[in-house]
Amino acid sequence: MMYQIPMESLDRLLAAIAAQQKLYLPTDNTAGEAVYTEWTQGAALSKKLNTLRSAKDFFFPQIQNMAKFRREGKKIEVIDDRAEADDFCIFGVRACDVRSFDVLDNVFLADPVDTWYETRRKHATVISLACTRPGETCFCHTFGIDAAKAGGDIQCWETKDTFYLEPLTEKGQALADALIAADGELLTQCGADQEALVEKETERIHKILEKLPLYDLKAEDNRERELELFRSKKWKELSSHCLGCGACTFVCPTCQCFDIEDFNNGETVQRYRCWDSCMYHDFTLMAAGTPRLTQTERFRQRFMHKLVYYPKAHDGLFSCVGCGRCLRKCPIHMNIVKVMETLKEEKE
Ligand code: SF4
Ligand code: SF4
C-alpha cells in the first residue's frame, strides 16, 4: 500500500513522526554539507544527494562506550551501564546506505552477535528516499542497487508537489498505522493513478542513471582470482600516492573496523570502541609489530576485502555500495573505481 502527502506538508509529516519516536534526518550544516541531525521544529530536509558521513553512525557510532570496570582490592566489578535504547527513525536514507546495513548486518549480527549494534538496529525504523538526481560519482547500479527504489522499512519518493511513502516491512507499516491513528488526515492512500506517477518517477530516475559516467562500470566476480589479484604488481602503482589518511574508510558506509581502548579516570575504567582504519600504519599492531609493513599492503587489504574477501565470505555480496563518498573525499583522487578498472584491465 502506498500513501501520499503534499510536499508543502512535509513538515507536518516530520512533526508527526517525531511525535512517535526520535527522528533524525539529513540537514545542511554551516559548511553546506548534509549531516544527520535530530529533527526539531523548522529543520529542513537537505536537498543534497548524500550525507557527508553515512547512516552507519546510527548503528556503529564513531565512539561507543562498551562497559565500565571498578576494582576493589583483588575484585574487579564489570558494569554494563547500557540504557535500554529508545525507538528512533532515520529519515531520507539513500538506497546505497540502505544496502550498507546488509553488509554491516552480516558482520555484526553473525555469531557471536554484537549486542551494541543489534540493539540499535532493532530500535531503528529506516525511511529511505529515492535519489531524485543521482550524481556523477554514484555507481550503486554496479552492485545491483536501485537508486529509484531505495528499500528500508518505508521507501519514499519526492516529486515537485507530492511526497510518496510505501511501507515495506512490518515495522514500516506499524509506523504508518501509528501516524494514521494519530492524525487520520495526514496520509492519503494512493490509487492506481498515483502509483503510476511513482512508476513514472522511477523511470525518470533510471534514465538519469543510464547517462551517468559510471553507469557501465561492472563489478567482476573475482572470488576465483584471489591469489592472482593478491600478487598483482598493480597494487604498488595504485597505492604509490596514498597518504594513509583513512578518509576513505571513515566516510565509507560499509567499513567496519574498530579499536577497543580503556580510559582510567582513577575511579573506574571506561572501555570504549572507536573506528579504526586498515589504511593506518598501526592498524592491528601487535607486540611483534604490524602484519602489513607498507602502505601498499594496507591499501591492497582495503580493496581486496571489499572486492574479494567479503564477497567470498558472503555469497558474492560486495562490501561496496557505490555511494561515491570515497571518490569525493580522497585527497589524492584515488578510489575503488580506479582499483576495479585496473584489476579488470589486468585480466584482459
Ligand atoms: S568504497 Fe567508496 S564508493 Fe564504495 S561504499 Fe565505500 S565510500 Fe562508498
Ligand atoms: S583517502 Fe585516499 S589517500 Fe587517504 S587513505 Fe584513502 S586512498 Fe589513501
Please state which of the ranges 5-9, 155-159, 288-292, 331-335 shows the lowest mean pLDDT.
288-292
Residue 75 sits in the same domain as residue 185: yes
The rounded Å distance from CA 322 to ligand 1 centre is 5
Residue 291 Cβ inside 6 Å of ligand 2? The answer reads no
Please give the full DSSP string across 162-212, using - where no structure is assigned: EEEEEE-SHHHHHHHHHHHHH-TTT-EE--HHHHHHHHHHHHHHHHHHHHS
Residue 218 lies in a domain: no
Q: CA end-to-end span of the chain, whole Å?
A: 47
Residue 240 lies in a domain: yes
Percentage of residues in the chain with pLDDT exceeding 90? Answer: 91
- The grid coordinates listed for 295 are 602502505
Q: What is the pLDDT of residue 83?
A: 81
Residue 26 lies in a domain: yes
- pLDDT greater than 70 at residue 303: yes
Q: From 167, 186, 211, give the residue that closes a domain.
A: 211
Q: What is the pLDDT of residues 59-95, one digit of tens each?
A: 999 999 999 999 888 899 999 888 878 999 999 999 9
Q: What is the mean pLDDT of residues 22-49?
A: 95
Q: Hey, CA dihedral for 109, 172, 11, 130, is it positive or negative?
A: positive
The rounded Å distance from CA 238 to ligand 1 centre is 17
Q: What is the pLDDT of residue 72?
A: 87
Do 16 and 183 meet the contact criterion of CB atoms below 8 Å apart?
A: yes
Residue 238 lies in a domain: yes
For strands 154-158 and 162-167, give the pairing: antiparallel
d(Cα 51, Cα 31) in Å, to the nearest integer? 12
Percentage of residues in the chain with pLDDT exceeding 70? Answer: 99
- pLDDT greater than 80 at residue 346: no
Residue 235 sits in the same domain as residue 165: no
Please state which of the ranges 19-28, 74-83, 240-249, 257-266 shows the lowest mean pLDDT.
74-83
Q: What is the pLDDT of residues 196-235, one digit of tens each?
A: 999 999 999 999 999 999 999 999 998 999 999 999 999 9
The rounded Å distance from CA 254 to ligand 1 centre is 7
Q: What is the pLDDT of residue 348?
A: 67
Beta bridge partners of 336: none
Residue 162 sits in the same domain as residue 264: no
- pLDDT greater than 90 at residue 347: no
Beta strands in 231-332 (DSSP E): 258-264, 269-275
Residue closest via CA to ligand 2's atom 4 equals: 245
Q: What does residue 273 show for φ and ψ, rounded to 5 degrees?
A: -120, 155
Ligand 1 atom with the shortest distance to the CA of 251: 7
3-state class percentages of the chain: helix first, strand second, coil last, to nearest 5: 40, 20, 40
pLDDT band at 304 (very low <50, low <70, confident <90, very high): very high
What residues contact 341, with CB distance under 8 A and at least 6 apart? Answer: 217
Residue 26 Cβ inside 6 Å of ligand 1? The answer reads no
Residue 24 sits in the same domain as residue 102: yes
Residue 148 sits in the same domain as residue 234: no
Q: From 167, 184, 211, give the residue that closes a domain.
A: 211
Ligand nearest to the CA of 248: 2
79's enclosing H/E stretch is strand 75-79
Residue 311 lies in a domain: yes
Residue 24 sits in the same domain as residue 158: yes
Q: From 181, 211, 241, give the residue that closes a domain.
A: 211
3-state secondary structure (DSSP) of residue 130: coil
Mutate to test the pocket of ligand 2, among 332, 339, 340 (most ligand atoms within 8 A of CB): 332
Residue 147 lies in a domain: yes
Cα 78 to Cα 119, 157, 260, 269, distances in angstroms: 20, 47, 16, 10
| 132 C-beta neighbours (distance < 10 Å), count | 17
| 195 C-beta neighbours (distance < 10 Å), count | 15
Q: Is the pTM of this model over 0.75?
A: yes
**How many distinct structural domains can be found in the chain?**
2
128's enclosing H/E stretch is strand 124-129
Residue 102 sits in the same domain as residue 126: yes
157: nearest Cα among 190, 125, 114: 190
Residue 228 sits in the same domain as residue 190: no
Residue 52 sits in the same domain as residue 79: yes
d(Cα 175, Cα 152) in Å, to the nearest integer? 13
Q: What is the pLDDT of residue 9?
A: 95
Residue 337 Cβ inside 6 Å of ligand 2? The answer reads no
Q: What is the pLDDT of residue 196?
A: 96
d(Cα 279, Cα 296) in Å, to the nearest integer? 9
Do 78 and 271 meet the contact criterion of CB atoms below 8 Å apart?
A: no
Residue 217 lies in a domain: no
d(Cα 190, Cα 5) in Å, to the nearest integer? 10
pLDDT band at 345 (very low <50, low <70, confident <90, very high): confident
Q: What is the mean pLDDT of residues 285-294?
A: 90
Q: What is the pLDDT of residue 85?
A: 83
d(Cα 215, Cα 134) in Å, to the nearest integer? 11
Residue 244 lies in a domain: yes
What is the domain range of residue 300? 223-347
